[in-house]
Amino acid sequence: RLVLGIETSCDDTGAAVLDETGAILGESLHSQKEVHLRSGGIIPTVAQQLHKEHIARVVQEAMDRSGVSPRQLSAVATTVKPGLALSLGIGLKFSLEFVRHHNKPFIPIHHMEAHALTVRMLQPVAFPFLVLLISGGHSLLAVARGVSDFLLLGQTLDEAPGDTLDKVARRLSLLKHPHCSTLSGGQAIEHLAKEGDRSKFPFRTPMGQNYDCDFSFAGLRNQVTMTIMKKETEEGIEQGSLLSCVNDIAAATQHAVAAHLAKRTHRAILFCKAKGLLPACSPTLVVSGGVASNQYIRKALAIITEATGVNLLCPPAKFCTDNGVMIAWNGVERLREGTGILPHNVDVSYEPKAPLGVDITAEVKAAAIKVPS
């Protein structure tokens, strides 16, 4: 069985062909990151235009590299939710035309489910497991009980951690710093934080008084911005030209993000244990999304998992970010299970907003589990 996966939910045009074992036969990825970096954020119409320009070539390239002909495909899997409407629309339109033309089954994919399942392509991980997804657009904790069976324990109430790090990096003009010009905001902060002293700026960990698994990063960003403004005023310098304590601010910001993620994850583990939602014997936490490649954050999470007897799994960075591979893999999982497979002439629409699984955040809040600091 062979699956073509197509991803266009945000700013990456990705395609890949996988076989049933998860072997990647061919893949292609066109990233718009640099374009959006220069404009200081994603402009949806620009993202749409770039997807439009690249989708046919990216899919063709993945197919060519795999040596698989459309005739040999068992199905086409495509991200249809959640994401930017204009971006999702391009991938979906292309895919529906493709499956109609080649008379192939269509498998609509939930982008966050795909992120959560990617780890199973790389190693055997049995359901149920706990998953923390942290990226430029998301922050959530969920229990993966099956291929399309998730319990949502908590999610961000405002912005995602990657978004926060990108905004702080932009406010500090980090891309102008040596070795940072080609890095994402999060990578630049991780790089500079290595030389920084986080204790110089003791930012408050968000939501200390909320005993749930939700996240919030906007308040932290506000704290950091105020600190930067104060420093700039003190030194009588222009906005974005701070040099003196940039490393310390980077270290302190990274620490606050890590502490917040670790606290929420710790509570999620305790909640799952109390409710019997994870296997009693060596439960697993999977961490994915672009922010998961941060080594400091991984270490913070490792401290929690070690203390609670949980296995910590982080797929390599390449599989943590958006690509066609994870979408194709989700398609393979669906085919194996025999669920969510639609006929070639189906009409599917995309959904910009789509919660992951069954929302039990209220139950988590009600449990009000205290986490040791």
Q: Which residues lie near Fe ion (CB under 5 A)?
A: 322
The contacts of residue 281 (CB under 8 Å, 6+ apart) are none
Among 8, 66, 87, 187, interactor with ligand ATP by CB under 6 A: 187
In three-state form (DSSP H/G/I as H, E/B as E, the rest C), the secondary structure along the chain is CEEEEEECCCCEEEEEEEECCCCEEEEEEEECHHHHHHHCCCCHHHHHHHHHHHHHHHHHHHHHHHCCCHHHCCEEEEEEECCCHHHHHHHHHHHHHHHHHHCCCEEEEEHHHHHHHCHHHHCCCCCCEEEEEECCCCEEEEEEEECCEEEEEEEECCCCHHHHHHHHHHHCCHHHCCCCCCCCHHHHHHHHHCCCCHHHCCCCCCCCCCCCCCECCHHHHHHHHHHHHHHHHHHCCCCCCCCCCHHHHHHHHHHHHHHHHHHHHHHHHHHHHHHCCCCCCCCEEEEECHHHHCHHHHHHHHHHHHHHCCEEECCCHHHHCCCHHHHHHHHHHHHHHCCCCECCCCCCCCCCCCCCCEECHHHHHHHCCCCCC
Show the binding pattern over residues 320-349: x = contacts ligand ATP (CB under 6 A), - = does not.
-xx---------------------------
Q: Does 137 bind ligand ATP (CB under 6 A)?
A: yes
Q: Which does 185 bind (CB under 5 to 8 A by kind): ligand ATP, Fe ion, none?
A: ligand ATP
Determine the Cα–Cα distance for residues 80 and 348; give it in Å rounded to an integer: 8
Alpha carbon 35 to chain centroid, angstroms: 20
Asked if 185 is part of the footprint of ligand ATP (rule: CB under 6 A), the reply reads yes
Least distance to ligand ATP, CB of residue 105, Å? 26
Find the binder of ligand ATP among 95, 293, 330, 361 (CB under 6 A): 293
Q: For residues 64, 20, 146 and 94, what is the CA-based torsion angle, rounded to 10 degrees?
A: 20
- Minimal CB distance residue for Fe ion: 322
**At its nearest, how many Å lie between ligand ATP and the CB of residue 304?**
18
Instruction: In whole angstroms, give the CA distance from residue 14 to residue 91.
Output: 9
**Nearer of residues 278 and 292 to Fe ion, judged by Cβ:** 292
CB 191 → ligand ATP: shortest distance, Å?
8
Considering the complex, state which of residue 29 and residue 63 has its C-beta at the smaller distance from ligand ATP.
29
- Rule CB under 6 A: say whether 138 interacts with ligand ATP: yes
Residues binding ligand ATP: what is the number (CB under 6 A)?
22
Binding mask 147-176 for ligand ATP (x = CB under 6 A): ---------------xx-xx----------
165 binds, among ligand ATP, Fe ion, none (CB under 5 to 8 A by kind): ligand ATP
Query: Would you count residue 315 as binding ligand ATP (CB under 6 A)?
Result: no
253 binds ligand ATP (CB under 6 A): no
The strand pair at 106-110 and 75-81 is best described as parallel
- The region that residue 368 occupies, defined by phi over 0 for left and psi between -120 and 50 for alpha, beta otherwise, is left
- Using CB under 6 A as the binding rule, whether residue 87 contacts ligand ATP is answered as no
Residue closer to ligand ATP, measured from CB, 131 or 278: 131
Q: Which of 289, 315, 331, 340 binds ligand ATP (CB under 6 A)?
A: 289
CB of 115 to Fe ion, least distance (A): 6
Least distance (Å) between residue 15 CB and Fe ion: 15
> Could you say which of Fe ion, ligand ATP, none residue 265 binds, taking C-beta under 5 to 8 angstroms by partner kind?
none
| Residue 293, binding choice from Fe ion, ligand ATP, none, Cβ under 5 to 8 Å by partner class | ligand ATP
**Which of 220/277 has CB closer to ligand ATP?**
220
Residue 166 binds what, of ligand ATP, Fe ion, none (CB under 5 to 8 Å, by partner type)? ligand ATP
In angstroms, give the least distance from the CB of 361 to ligand ATP.
18
- Give me the least distance between CB of 119 and ligand ATP, in Å please: 14
96 and 253 Cβ atoms separated by less than 8 Å: no
Enumerate binding residues for ligand ATP (CB under 6 A): 9-10, 135-138, 162-163, 165-166, 184-187, 190, 289-291, 293-294, 321-322
